[in-house]
């Protein structure tokens, strides 16, 4: 049986994405019903970037599955500096059942997967954040009952990893996804083309607009993300200042009123109130961000179960 990796959202088929989400719901009800890491087997969890939710949720998921999370500080290990990524992958693959990595370039995690010999999971790169989107889709399923046919409107930086993963993940789920972003921060054309292809195949659609009101008009789900992604801290003043191109895309109560009356609000956190979102929205009755944060645990547990049980005969 071939090794499966999860490096970007469309590494799962639509049927596999649905299976993982169903399994996440099952595991949320019965947290210890699957034990593919019983032993305990070790999963290497590597962080080149800051983390809170990702570290806690993966550590919890691995423990629930019977395993032991071996958390590695990327700043100390200097992967790709002290030794090549390929050599690190070969070493970890001999000792761990899987590798979870939060890093910078997508090319780094692709090189890790090419040499590891065990499943590799993208816990965030500059291009994608696919585990977060699984948690978001799980949250939408819980609150809306289904995904196909729903419309999600994302406003903010259209060129970042969250926008890219919403495009692919929502298109795969048969949703209509709209990206409201300045003309200067458009999604990667190749990712947009892939999302358009997936949407056409699964009954959804893709729209990119520079009109924030049009992006959320009548939608079922409103989403935003920080305007200062990890690795862009040097641009904080420019991106959060009064002249920031993102100011019109802040999720205010006025913008939220353009969505459907029963729309829900998502944010992957950490959130910066008074910048990308008003306190009255994230702390208001339509916000489901705490369910979303908890669902990282259940979605990632289901993903690891899928990669280890369904594709390695573990």
Q: Is 170 annotated as a binding residue?
A: no
Catalytic-labelled residue, pool 23, 41, 64, 102: 102
Q: How far is residue 261's CA from residue 257's CA, in Å, rounded to a whole number? A: 7
148 is an active site residue: no
38 to 46, 62, 81, 251, 302: CA distances (angstroms):
21, 10, 33, 44, 15
| 131 marked as binding residue | yes
Confidence of residue 1 (pLDDT cuts 50, 70, 90): low
Q: Which residues contact 37 (CB under 8 A, 6 or more apart)?
A: 43, 62, 65, 66, 67, 68, 97, 304, 308, 314
Q: Which of 132, 157, 170, 185 is catalytic?
A: 132
Is 268 assigned to a binding site? yes
Paired sense of beta strands 98-102 and 120-122, if any: parallel
Nearest-Å Rg of the Cα atoms of the chain is: 19
pLDDT band at 77 (very low <50, low <70, confident <90, very high): confident
Phi first, then psi, for residue 211 (nearest 5°) are -100, 105
Q: Where are the alpha helices (DSSP H) in 188-262?
A: 189-202, 212-216, 236-240, 253-256
> Has 119 been labeled as part of a binding site?
no
Marked catalytic residue, from 5, 53, 64, 129: 129
- 26, containing H or E segment: helix 14-29
Q: Do domains 14-129+294-310 and 132-290 have the same CATH topology?
A: yes
- Check residue 75 and give its pLDDT: 83
Q: Any catalytic annotation for residue 185?
A: no
pLDDT of residue 256: 98
The Cα 233–Cα 239 span in angstroms is 9
Q: Model confidence over 197-234: pLDDT tens digits?
A: 999 999 999 999 999 999 999 999 999 999 977 777 77
Q: Which residue has the higher pLDDT, 113 or 1?
A: 113
pLDDT at 235 over 90: no
Domain 132-290 fold is: Rossmann fold (3.40.50)
> Which pTM was predicted?
0.95
Q: What are the tens digits of pLDDT across the range 29-59?
A: 999 999 999 999 999 999 999 889 999 999 9
For position 88, what pLDDT does the model report?
A: 96
Is 50 exceeded by the pLDDT of residue 314? no
Cα separation values, 37 from 197, 230, 301, Å: 36, 31, 11
Is residue 296 part of the annotated active site? The answer reads yes
Name the active-site residue from 17, 127, 225, 239.
225
Task: Parse the chain into domains and list their residue ranges.
Answer: 14-129+294-310, 132-290
Q: What is the mean pLDDT of residues 76-102?
A: 94
Query: Residue 312: which pLDDT band, with cuts at 50, 70 and 90?
Result: low
Q: For residue 194, indicate whether it is catalytic.
A: no
In this prediction, residues 273-284 reach a mean pLDDT of 96
Task: Identify the architecture of domain 14-129+294-310 in CATH.
Answer: 3-Layer(aba) Sandwich (3.40)
Both tokens of residue 156?
Answer: 């903010």
Tell me whether residue 225 is annotated as binding. yes
Q: What confidence score (pLDDT) does residue 123 get?
A: 98
Active-site annotation holds for 108: no
Mean pLDDT score of the chain: 95
Question: Residues 144-193: pLDDT tens digits?
Answer: 999 999 999 999 999 999 999 999 999 999 999 999 999 999 999 999 99
Query: What is the pLDDT at residue 299?
Result: 98
Identify whether 129 is a catalytic site residue. Answer: yes
- C-alpha separations of 238 from 172, 228, 230, 277 in Å: 34, 9, 15, 17
């Amino acid at each position: 049986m071939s090794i499966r990796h999860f490096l970007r959202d469309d590494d799962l088929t639509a049927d596999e994405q649905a299976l993982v989400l169903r399994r996440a719901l099952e595991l949320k009800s019965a947290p210890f019903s699957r034990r593919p890491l019983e032993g305990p087997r070790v999963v290497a969890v590597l962080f080149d970037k800051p983390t809170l939710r990702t570290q806690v949720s993966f550590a919890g998921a691995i423990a629930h599955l019977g395993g032991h999370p071996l958390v590695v500080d990327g700043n100390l290990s200097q992967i790709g500096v002290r030794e090549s990524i390929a050599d690190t992958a070969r070493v970890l693959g001999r000792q761990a059942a899987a590798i979870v990595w939060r890093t910078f370039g997508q090319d780094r995690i692709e090189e890790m997967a090419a040499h590891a010999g065990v499943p590799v999971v993208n816990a965030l790169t500059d291009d994608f954040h696919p585990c977060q989107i699984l948690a978001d889709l799980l949250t939408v399923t819980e609150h809306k009952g289904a995904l196909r046919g729903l419309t999600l409107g994302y406003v903010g930086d259209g060129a970042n990893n969250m926008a890219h993963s919403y495009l692919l993940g929502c298109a795969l789920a048969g949703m209509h996804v709209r990206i409201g972003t300045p003309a200067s921060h458009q999604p990667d054309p190749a990712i947009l083309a892939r999302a358009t292809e997936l949407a056409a195949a699964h009954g959804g659609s893709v729209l990119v607009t520079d009109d924030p009101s049009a992006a959320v008009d009548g939608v079922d789900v409103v989403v935003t993300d920080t305007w200062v992604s990890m690795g862009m801290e040097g641009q904080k003043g420019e991106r959060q200042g009064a002249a920031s191109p993102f100011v019109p895309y802040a999720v205010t109560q006025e913008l939220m009123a353009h969505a459907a009356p029963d729309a829900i609000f998502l944010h992957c956190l950490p959130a910066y109130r008074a910048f990308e979102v008003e306190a009255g929205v994230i702390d208001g009755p339509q916000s489901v961000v705490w369910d979303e944060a908890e669902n990282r645990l259940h979605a990632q547990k289901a993903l690891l179960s899928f990669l280890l049980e369904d594709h390695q005969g573990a």
